[in-house]
């Protein structure tokens, strides 16, 4: 299980970067609906950042 978690975060980051770069390079119509492919990865990163931020604030309160 730990191996899967380690591989999950780089894959999510690569998906976000890949979608953004693809739509920046390929001369196709730009629409927000095309960027929704990376939405699950964005949500994962946002949730992890929120949890990490909350954990950091708890640690700093304890001294």
Structural domain boundaries in the chain: 2-62
Give a three-class secondary structure readout of 8-59: HHHHHHHHHHHHHHHHHHCCCCCCHHHHHHHHHHHHHHHHHHHHHHHHHHHH
Q: What is the pLDDT of residue 1?
A: 47
Cα–Cα distance for residue pair 53/48, rounded to 1 Å:
8
Give the H or E element holding residue 61.
Answer: helix 39-62
pTM (two decimals): 0.70
What is the DSSP code (8-state) at residue 5?
H
Express each pLDDT in 39-59 by its tens digit. Answer: 999 999 999 888 888 877 665
Q: What is the pLDDT of residue 36?
A: 84
Give the H or E element holding residue 63.
Answer: none
């Amino acid at each position: 299980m730990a191996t899967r978690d380690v591989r999950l975060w780089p894959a999510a980051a690569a998906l976000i970067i890949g979608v953004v770069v693809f739509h920046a390079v390929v001369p196709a119509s730009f629409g927000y609906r095309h960027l929704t492919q990376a939405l699950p990865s964005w949500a994962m990163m946002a949730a992890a950042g929120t949890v990490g931020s909350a954990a950091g604030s708890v640690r700093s309160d304890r001294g």
